[in-house]
Homo-oligomer: A and B are copies of this chain.
Amino acid sequence: MKKIVKQDQDVIKQHNKLMILDIIKNKRPISRAEITKITRMSATSIGRFVSELCEEGVIRETELTSSGVGRKAIMLDIEPGALYTIGVDIEKKRISFGIMDFSETIVAHHRVEHKALAGTPAETAALICQEIRGMIARQGIPFEKVIGIGIGVPGVINYERGVVQLSSTLGWKDVAFAELIEKELGIKTVIDNDLKVKILSEYLYGSAKGSNKTALIGIGTGIGSALIINGEVFRGGSNSAGELGHTTLDPNGNLCECGKRGCLQTYIDENALILEARRVKEVTDVREVFAAARNGERWAKEIVSRTALYIGITINNIVCMYNPDTVILSGDLVENYREIVELVEEHSDQVIWEPFKGKFRVIPSELRGEAIVMGAGALAMQHFAPLSGSWSGE
């Protein structure tokens, strides 16, 4: 529940002004008259707020545009160059960057190879800062217009304190990573779990647009999940909700890297496929398994089918626990081998609990490789841009 808020005139004014900015951002281009209609505030108030926002350089008037029955109206739009954020996606072997403008368009992309496990977090931070400086300079953006950096990191993240508590992918433990970046660049930084960033991205720009109760399952070198409800990422008590990969299927089952037995990810992630395949053939990656399956080799078809069955179970378990209307399948395993998604559908009648059948849809990730960069940029926008966040459509 909300804390007590004394509502006085200054607070209301600021609230209303930022709300108008939100409306312009969401419905651009838009006329003063339309804003008046939406807000039911006086035309005079709207005029005053709009003038202030223009003077501050965050919105601008665009050319005359016809609106309705032949009349012309001056339209308002946000100024895309008013401010920028940087979105960063740290993976095991590469780091991706994007510069996002105020219209939430990625205006510059960049990617570098690195080996997280071979260096220290400080070295990774230094590399990121160097690349960000370079990008901003190449783009000719005034440094002070970059208001924030968002970073998606695989692992358990203390979102409020900006700390990577545990990332087995990167080999990090208790690293105050946001602070490392902020100190070096002097730009406010927010970090979050990669799948939480990804689902925000799919909600804002991708396949979850318009769905308000969406779960995302990430299947690759590990297994994870995330949930977004009415635009709010579900975090749990310490931002660690969604650790699907370490839910237990069988107390006497496969040994997991975490030391526990029977974790879901030991039945379903890429490593599980490879280990299973090695009972038959000395494979080195999942590509070989899928190639053999496409080639009709029975052992490989069996492994792919079993993986699809377990993905189906995973969907059932997510739906039972979170009750979403949409489930997004993402991650290398499902994005690179779409045949597995078809097999999952075939199994679904068998594995989905009856009352949930037909109550949700399963869709593949739409943004794929770009999702985290975009989501991280958006996260920084939500955190650091001057918006009220109180208006999100009619």
B residues less than 8 Å from A352 (CB atoms): 260
Partner of A247, one of B19, B310, B317, B359: B317
A241 to B227, CA, bound (A): 12
Partner of A316, one of B248, B392, B394: B248
When C-beta atoms are compared, the residue in chain B nearest to A173 turns out to be B355
**A258 within 8 A of partner (CB):** yes
A244 with B355, Cβ < 8 A, contacts A7-B7, A390-B2 known: no
A323 with B239, Cβ < 8 A, contacts A1-B389, A316-B248 known: yes
Asked if B165 and A355 sit within 8 Å, CB to CB, the answer is yes
Question: Which secondary structure characterizes the binding site on chain A?
Answer: loop
**A324 within 8 A of partner (CB):** yes
B residues less than 8 Å from A260 (CB atoms): 350-354
Partner of A244, one of B156, B225, B321, B356: B321
A101 to B12, CA, bound (A): 36
Question: How close is A237's CB to chain B, nearest CB, in angstroms?
Answer: 4
A213 with B236, Cβ < 8 A, contacts A6-B41, A260-B351 known: yes
Asked if A247 and B320 sit within 8 Å, CB to CB, the answer is yes
When C-beta atoms are compared, the residue in chain B nearest to A12 turns out to be B7
**A118 within 8 A of partner (CB):** no
When C-beta atoms are compared, the residue in chain B nearest to A391 turns out to be B4
B residues less than 8 Å from A250 (CB atoms): 249-250
Interface residues of A in 14-57 (CB under 8 A from B): 15-16, 19, 23, 38-41
Asked if B7 and A39 sit within 8 Å, CB to CB, the answer is no
A2 to B22, CA, bound (A): 12
Partner of A321, one of B238, B242, B360, B392: B242
Question: How close is A1's CB to chain B, nearest CB, in angstroms?
Answer: 4
**A322 within 8 A of partner (CB):** yes
When C-beta atoms are compared, the residue in chain B nearest to A317 turns out to be B247
**A62 within 8 A of partner (CB):** no
Question: How close is A43's CB to chain B, nearest CB, in angstroms?
Answer: 14
When C-beta atoms are compared, the residue in chain B nearest to A316 turns out to be B248
Asked if B353 and A258 sit within 8 Å, CB to CB, the answer is yes
> Given A156-B355, A258-B353, 6 more contacts at CB 8 Å?
A246-B353, A248-B317, A250-B250, A251-B350, A260-B353, A321-B322
Can you list the 9 inter-chain pairs with the closest CB atoms, starting with the nearest?
A236-B323, A213-B237, A1-B392, A241-B323, A246-B353, A243-B320, A247-B317, A240-B323, A237-B325
- What are 10 A-B contacts defined by CB distance under 8 Å? A1-B389, A4-B19, A4-B23, A237-B324, A237-B325, A237-B360, A239-B323, A248-B316, A249-B249, A260-B350
